[in-house]
Amino acid sequence: MKAFLQFLCLTAFVSALLPDASRAQNAPAFTRTEDVLYGRKFGTALTFDVFRPEKPNGLGVIVVVSGGWFSSHDGINAGAYRELLTRGYTVFAVVHGSQPRFQIPEIEQDMFRAVRFIRHHAARYGVDAGRLGVTGGSAGGHLSLTLGTQGGPGKPDAKDPVDRESSAVAAVACFFPPTDFLNYGKEGEDAVGVGILKDYKPAFGPRADTAAERQKYGREISPLYFITSNLPPTLIIHGNADKLVPIQQAELFVRKAAEAGARARLVVKEGKAHGWPDMGPDTVTIADWFDEHLAGKKP
């Protein structure tokens, strides 16, 4: 039942991103390649779909298909990527291993692997390996920020050449992401599988069973604690009426990024909760961010 609820959350988020009927009529032409295998673990195939526009601009954007750290191929919908495809971005919709089978640290490794795989095969997809962006919402936003703050060099001596590649991204643009599980909504509020996020306990796993371990674990999975001056340009769009992921999470992240000398921007959606009926126009803001920080266009 919980997995079903996570799926509903994921599909509701994707539906909100879909364009209205008038805009959909002018949808861009593209080709779709489904179920590209980027890795395996414990018998689970890790895949992504590639959406390549008719007139590609040579740049790639990774979409983290995730809600509540649950990921499904059924959560992929080309309509949600309309604005990016219209502007020529090649879109990689990445499906990761889902909770409760896999916990957040393992899911993060899936995303690092996906970026490395895409970078290794960048020429095949016609994208610049050094200019990859990432986007997602909620858990997908958390994983996007994880890539932005912790993506980095691979292992030079790795047997698999994919694992020798960097998992860093060049720009991040995401919706309502958790950023600090130890100060969640207010200072000292523990949400490592407890409190507001108690219903997501399977995603955190057994390490969330004790308060002492949660303090250590919470830092390991919170993007806030990995911000440096090397943070790629980061955009967060967040509703100030969000009860599941308080806007304080975005505020903390942007404030610390500024203190580190990094570029981060927060767009506040007045009166909006954890998602809103028509988020399509917000995808324009996302695409504008990538235009500026991947394509080098003036805002």
The residue ranges of DSSP E strands in the chain, in sequence order, are 30-41, 44-53, 60-65, 90-95, 132-137, 171-175, 234-239, 264-269
- How many Cβ atoms from other residues are within 10 Å of residue 203's Cβ? 23
Q: In the sheet that 171-175 helps form, which strands lie side by side, from edge to edge?
A: 30-41, 44-53, 90-95, 60-65, 132-137, 171-175, 234-239, 264-269
How far is residue 127's CA from residue 183's CA, in Å, rounded to a whole number?
38
For the structural domain made of 2-293, what CATH number should be given? 3.40.50.1820
| Pair 234, 257: CB distance under 8 Å | yes
Whole-angstrom Cα Rg for the chain: 18
pLDDT of residue 299: 78
- How many Cβ atoms from other residues are within 10 Å of residue 263's Cβ? 15
| Pair 64, 75: CB distance under 8 Å | no
pLDDT of residue 298: 83
Strands 44-53 and 90-95, sheet pairing:
antiparallel
Tell which residue, 93, 96, 164, 91, has the closest CA to residue 126: 91
- How many Cβ atoms from other residues are within 10 Å of residue 256's Cβ? 18
Partners of residue 52 on adjacent β-strands:
31
How far is residue 76's CA from residue 144's CA, in Å, rounded to a whole number?
16
Token pair 């209205």 in the structure block, residue: 20
pLDDT (tens, 9 = 90+) of the chain, 299 residues, equals 444 445 445 555 666 666 654 455 567 899 999 999 999 999 889 999 999 999 999 999 999 999 999 999 999 999 999 999 999 999 999 999 999 999 999 999 999 999 999 999 999 999 999 999 999 999 999 999 999 999 999 999 999 999 999 999 999 999 999 999 999 999 999 999 999 999 999 999 999 999 999 999 999 999 999 999 999 999 999 999 999 999 999 999 999 999 999 999 999 999 999 999 999 999 999 999 999 999 999 87
pLDDT of residue 21: 44
Burial 236-249 (b: 16+ CB within 10 A, else e): bbbbeebebbbbbb
Report in angstroms the alpha-carbon separations of 26 from 23, 180, 219.
6, 40, 45
| Pair 14, 77: CB distance under 8 Å | yes
Q: Give residue 27's identity as a one-letter amino acid code.
A: A
Q: Give residue 20's identity as a one-letter amino acid code.
A: D
Count CA atoms closer than 13 A to 297's CA, side-chain side.
10
The residue extents of the domains of the chain are 2-293
How far is residue 67's CA from residue 229's CA, in Å, rounded to a whole number?
29
Question: What is the secondary structure of 27-40 as a DSSP string?
Answer: PPPEEEEEEEEEEE
pLDDT of residue 22: 45
What are residue 112's phi and psi, to 5 degrees?
-60, -45
